[in-house]
Every structure is written in C-alpha cells, then in structure tokens.
Structure 1
Amino acid sequence: ALLHTFVFPTFQQYLKCTETLYHAELEAVDFRNALEETRKKINTWVEEQTSGKIKELFTEGILGSNTVLVLVNAIYFKGKWTSEFKKEDTKERPFRLNKNQTKNVQMMFQNGYYNLAIIEEPEIQVLELPYGNEEGGELSMFIFLPKDIKDNSTGLEQLDSALIYKKFVEWTTMTKMHKQNVNVYLPRFKMQESYDLGETLQAMGMLDVFDPSKADLSGMNGNRNLAVSKAIHKSYVDVNEEGTAAAAATGVTTIFTSSGMPCVFKADHPFLFLIKNNVTKSILFYGQCTSP
C-alpha cells in the first residue's frame, strides 16, 4: 500500500513520519482554484496504482474548496492459485441466493488436497485456497461457508453475528485446519463496492476526529484547525479459474479421515471470504459473496 498526500504547509516531523513509515509521496495541489483538476489528478493516481481497477474514487462534490488535505491509500493484489481451476471443468450450476431463490452461475470445480476445518458452532466449513508456486505460501484465500441456509435469510446472518477477529485467527490456524482430499466447487465472482466510512467509523467510537470543535490533528501543522470530513473506501475483487485480482472460537473442529470418498466443499450458497497474509496474520481483503 502507498500513502499519497496532497497537502498544505505541514510539520516536517509529520512529513518525515509519513515518508519513513508509509513510504508516502508528497504533492502540493490547489484545492481552492483548481478543485476539479485536483480531483481528477488524485483519481488518476489511484487508477494507476490499482492497474485500472479502481476508478473515480472521489466523485464530483466529495471534495470542496475548503479541503486542505487528502490522504489516499491504494493497494492492488493479483494472485494466481497454487493449483488453478481448469476452465473446461467450469459448468453452469445453480447458486442458492436464499431458501427459496436460485440463479445459475459459472461454477468452477477441482479436486485436490486442501486445508479444511469443520466448525461445529456456528456450523461452517473453512477452506484455504493458497496463492503462489508452493503450498504453505505467504498468501491465501479463506472461504467461510455456512453448512446450510436455515431460513429465508442468506445464511450469513448467524455467521456474521458470531464473527470477531479472534475467531478469524483461530479458525484459520494450522492447528484447526487439516489437509483433506476435497472436491471444491466455487463460483466465479466479481464485485466492486464504494463506501462512505464516516458513519461506520463514528459508530465504532471514532467521534472527535470528525468534530471540528474536538478534533486535534495539531501533529500535522501545529494548529487545531483540522477535522476529517470524509472517509471513502472503494474495493474491487475478481475471482476466476486462474486466481484473484483484488484492489480490504467456540466450537470444536472435526477432523476428517483421509480414507473413503473425498470431502465436498460446495459454495453454492452465500459465503464469506478473506485474503490473508499467513506470515503477518494480517487480513488484506474481506468480503461476502451473496450473488455471484
């Protein structure tokens, strides 16, 4: 990720920190007299950093002439599966949107040995699909698939209510996951979303920084005359046979035996997914697929 800063006069210490800690570039622009040109310039930088996947991060009207600072963080990830899905095995199959509705999707398939966990509470399967040339590499996608749809919801409500970061970490550790012979069914999917995170961050307790009377960002310029006005996030994820392009416990684990028929992991109903760095344990992207 690269932090790109379009700024007004600031403390040298702050600028040094952004450069040292975030490898940030610094560029001065004119929000007052060239607002539209500046907006397009920032959007062009984001588009270039994400290989054209994220366009128009800032739409018209988001920035104003009273804007004095924009911090932009852009990350682009493109990974190939360690074991790619064969395109000839992709077939049109039904995907259950909820208990009563289905749609036909392009469902990928392959058989192989994958790390799999079965969690009893809540009832889910957790599958690891690694990226890179070797098993046990740095990056993986983890898919959290509810056992079934229990009512007219998407099936994710019960899982969402049970999830905290601690459980994410626990369910995706190698002590919980075991390599199994698995028939994997996974739909192709592509999604792009844009979010205004202001209300979300304030609901999480980040209040003062959005309030001009309380915000204290004096570490940037020595004055308490700054406040955050907008927090915009835009994401893009494309999952196919080759891999992924992306531009964000209680219960007992049951171990399958290696004998007999392969386990079946069939993502034919809504699921959660995340892309995780297995070395740092950090989550790079997280989302849910409810309608491929």
Structure 2
Amino acid sequence: MNRREILALSGALAAASLAGCAGGDGSQTETETDETPSTDTPTETPTETPDGEPPTGEPTVDNEQLAALAAGNAEFALDLHSHLAAKDGGNQFLSPYSISVALAMTYAGARGETRTQMEETLRYTLGDEVHPAFSDLQAALESRETAKNRVEDEEVDAFQLAVANALWGQEGYPFSDEYLSVLEENYGSGLREADFTNDPDGERKRINQWVADQTEDRIEDLLPADAITPQTVLVLTNAIYFMASWLHKFDPKNTEDGIFTALDGTESTVPLMQQELEANYADLPTAQAVELPYIGEEVSMVLMLPDEGEFESFEQNLDTSRLFGIFQELSRAQGTLVFPRFEFETEVQLSDALSELGMPIAFGSGADFSGMVEGDQSGLMIDEVYHKTFVSVDEEGTEAAASTAVVMMESLPPQWDELRFDRPFLFCIRDKPTDAVLFYGRVVDAGAAQDEN
C-alpha cells in the first residue's frame, strides 16, 4: 500500500469517526486513535544500538528549559533559512530539528572557542543542559510517534513521527568514554564501529542505507561520492520521518488547475486544492496565516501568506518573536482555503553557511573537539555537514523526511613541497618550556660561514 493509499484510507476512517461523533450543531470532537509506539527496531549487529532506540536518560529539564530549546532552535532555523534563501531564490525545505540534533551531538565534544562559537551560532542557550533537553524533546516526539487506525482487518498508519540518531566511529580510535556516554544517554546513539581507513566508500554506502531505512527510502545518497575519506574519523547522523493525514482532508474532486505567480512574476499552472473549513487563522498587518492540523491535533502545518509585494520584506523580518507571536494570534475562524499540491527535495552542504553564521573554527585545523577523545589528541575538525530533505503535500496529508550527517576528520599536519634555505635567514635557540630566547642570529652569507678545517 503506497503513501497516498495509506493517507486516503486513514483519512476516510477519520472522517467517518468524526461524523459519528459530531453533535447536532455540527461541532467535531477529536478523533480517537490507538497510539502505539513503533517497535520496529532492527539492529545491524548484536553489539550496536537498535535503530530508533530512545535515549536512556530520565527527563531532567523543566518546561521553561524546553521552551528555551524550542526558541533557540527556531531562531537558528530562521537565521539559516534567511542565509540560504539569500544565496538561492528557489524553493527550500529544511529540518532545523535534524540539523540541531546532529550538531548538538558534535557540540558535546567541543571545547574552548570552538564550543563558544557553536553555542552562539546554533543558539544553544542552555549550555550542557542542551543534551538532556534534546533527550526530553525526543521523548515527547516518541510519545507521538505512531497512531494507528483499523480499517476492516488492516491497521493503517494515520500518523507517523520517527526520529533516530547514530554514531559511526573509526574502529580503534580513542573516543572518550565520557563523550560516548553523553550521546548514549541523551541521544540513544551508541557507537557503531566503521573502517573508514580501509573502506571509506563501503562505509559511506552503509551510512546511506541506514538513512534510507530510517526515512522510508525518501532520503537516499545523503553522503555523496568522496564525502568519506581515509581521514574520516567520525560521522554523526540524525534522521526524521513524518507522515500524517490532515484532520480535515481536501476532496480531490474540488482540486482544479490554477495559476501560481512565482516570486519573479512568472506564472505556471498547478493543481490547487480547496475546501471550506473552520481552522485557526490570523489576520496580520502584512500577511495572513492559517493552521492546518493533522490527525491527532498535536502536530500542525502553519501557512503564512504575505500580502502581494510583501513576501521578501516579511520573510527577511520574520524573527522568533514574530513567528511565535503569529502562533499566539491564531484563533478559530471560517473561510475557504485554496492551496497548491507540491513535492520537492532540498539538498545542501552547510559548512560555508555555518561558518558565515558564526562558527568557522569548527571547520578548520584550529578546531577543538578534545572532549571526544581520550588523552591529549585534539586534531578533530568538521569536514562537512550534509543535509537532505523531502516533502510532499496533497489532498490526503503530508509526508516529510530529513537527514543530517556531520562528517569529522582528523586534520593533517601542514605540508610543504620543499623549503630551501638558500638565501639569508634568521634563527634562534629557545628554551621551550619558558620560551626564553637563549641565542638569536642570522646567516646572510653561508659561504663565509663554512668550517675551513
């Protein structure tokens, strides 16, 4: 049964359930579902953490800290969106949650200025408490992971939200037990040994297969050719998959072709869905917003339509306080909604964007990820951050998937082709522990400085 069939079937059941529960005034009550967390957790080997295994830590943060995490993540999302949109004016779809989780697992091993730049750029305002906060957030998402409805003798998924993390490390590398414990406890990501040194492309394909498995094959080839090299030491991955039917689905019979005017003024013919409904709505100074709930009503899509000619200004000025303010402005109203079907993918490499947003040290040889390793080894740096997403919206509901991979490598010592001291030079003899210069001199004529004996 494909996605459209599943959503149609679950949507039909939801409609029947709502009709059965409707009162004489036409009001609707929440659809009853049997929420059952998914138990499909295959393992690659008996020693590895099962895919999708939730974090092992107990909830340790309060609602205020969770709110701070959400606000920081939204602020980072809007920063990154604006930065990427300024470089590419096309369609864009990101998962700030996926990016933030993958980089939070990296941040757990960052120290010094590397850590400071990461927490400022990624808006990790909670410091070390960001890890239990992400653990609690994932636990909350896990509680909404799967809702099933029964149609005749078959159970169909009306709502799916699955999150998984994984850690892939070079076998024999001295990773810190303390670092691995933080990731296991808060992200459920046990270490999977990999042989990047001898089989980099094989390990790349293995990681890509894991991502595809976690996202119902919607995210394939997250890591492109040559993304993994013999210098790769660690890859941190997050995957998120979402599929849900609308609480109030669109009737395909009402879908008609219509004109969509793009940002540059060009026009195209697209299928426009439409329905009359009661939903949360906000009439803003330069835009309108409407909220479309999914079945279960715990997750929704918020659509924001700036006034004609106001899109770029509205987008550029949308910050966290304004976004959350829109959420608060939403209230019940009735009207007609006309909305296009769409489906597309986004694929980006984020090293340049993240560097320009404020964390360049993490991507250079001066990075300090010494918290990841035992002893004095601290030569790790982020090589690249890969992010890929998929979204499909139609009359039945929405399917979305995303994955992020942070690829880390051991920085190589600088090399030179040949350094020839065949012209005047300076030299000194120093005491290394104190930097005391014991002797200092120059050689401007090596021919005159030869031992005659």
Fold shared, TM-score > 0.5 on shorter chain: yes
1:67 pairs with 232, 251, 267, which one? 232
Task: Report the residue type matching 1:102 in the other structure.
Answer: E
Contact 2:180 2:190 in 1 (8 A): no
1:197-228 per-position Cα deviation (integer Å, ceiling 9, x unaligned): 11111111112211212x11111113211010
Cα distance between partner residues in 2 of 1:31 and 1:100: 48
Task: Report the residue type matching 2:380 in the other structure.
Answer: L
The aligned counterpart of 1:11 is 176
Deviates more, 1:237-246 or 1:92-101: 92-101
**SS at 2:388 equivalent:** strand
1:216 pairs with 361, 368, 373, which one? 368
**SS at 2:383 equivalent:** coil
2:222 pairs with 38, 57, 60, which one? 57
1:224-264 per-position Cα deviation (integer Å, ceiling 9, x unaligned): 1101010111011100111110007xxxxxxxxxxxxxxxx
**SS at 2:229 equivalent:** coil
**2:303 is aligned with 1:138:** no
Alignment of 1:58-137 (within 5 A): 58-98=223-263, 100-120=265-285, 123-133=286-296, 137=297
Task: Report the residue type matching 1:171 in the other structure.
Answer: I
Percent pairwise identity: 31
Alignment of 1:221-240 (within 5 A): 221-222=373-374, 223-240=377-394
Task: Report the residue type matching 1:179 in the other structure.
Answer: R
Q: Looking at secondary structure, tell me which structure has more strand per residue.
A: 1
Task: Report the residue type matching 1:28 in the other structure.
Answer: E
Task: Report the residue type matching 2:321 in the other structure.
Answer: K
The aligned counterpart of 2:3 is none
The aligned counterpart of 2:448 is none
The aligned counterpart of 2:213 is 48
Deviates more, 1:8-17 or 1:184-193: 8-17
**SS at 2:384 equivalent:** coil
Q: Looking at secondary structure, tell me which structure has more helix per residue.
A: 2
**2:353 is aligned with 1:188:** no
Cα distance between partner residues in 1 of 2:265 and 2:304: 22
Aligned residues: 235
Contact 2:392 2:400 in 1 (8 A): yes
Cα distance between partner residues in 2 of 1:144 and 1:246: 19
**SS at 2:221 equivalent:** coil
> How many angstroms does 1:60 deviate by?
0.3
Cα distance between partner residues in 2 of 1:165 and 1:231: 24
The aligned counterpart of 2:313 is 158
Task: Report the residue type matching 2:369 in the other structure.
Answer: L
**SS at 1:192 equivalent:** strand
> How many angstroms does 1:59 deviate by?
0.7
**SS at 1:69 equivalent:** strand
The aligned counterpart of 2:49 is none
Q: What RMSD, in angstroms, separates the aligned Cα atoms of the two structures?
A: 1.3
Structure 1 residues 166 and 7: alpha-carbon distance in aligned structure 2, compared to 1, 3 A threshold: same
> How many angstroms does 1:99 deviate by?
6.4
1:127-156 per-position Cα deviation (integer Å, ceiling 9, x unaligned): 1000114xxx211100111121x2xxxx53
Cα distance between partner residues in 1 of 2:323 and 2:251: 30
Structure 1 residues 62 and 82: alpha-carbon distance in aligned structure 2, compared to 1, 3 A threshold: same
> How many angstroms does 1:33 deviate by?
0.9
Name the TM-score, length of structure 2 as normaliser: 0.51
Contact 2:208 2:221 in 1 (8 A): yes
**SS at 1:56 equivalent:** coil
1:157-180 per-position Cα deviation (integer Å, ceiling 9, x unaligned): 11221111221111112xx11211
Considering Cα pairs closer than 8 Å and 6+ residues apart, tell me whether 1 or 2 has the greater RCO: 1
Cα distance between partner residues in 2 of 1:142 and 1:221: 43
Gaps of 5+ in 2: 1-162, 403-453
Cα distance between partner residues in 2 of 1:227 and 1:98: 39
1:84-123 per-position Cα deviation (integer Å, ceiling 9, x unaligned): 1111111111111146421110110111101111110xx1
The aligned counterpart of 2:327 is 172
Name the TM-score, length of structure 1 as normaliser: 0.78
Cα distance between partner residues in 2 of 1:54 and 1:189: 17
Cα distance between partner residues in 1 of 2:321 and 2:265: 33
Larger Rg computed on CA atoms: 2
**SS at 1:244 equivalent:** strand
Structure 1 residues 221 and 100: alpha-carbon distance in aligned structure 2, compared to 1, 3 A threshold: closer
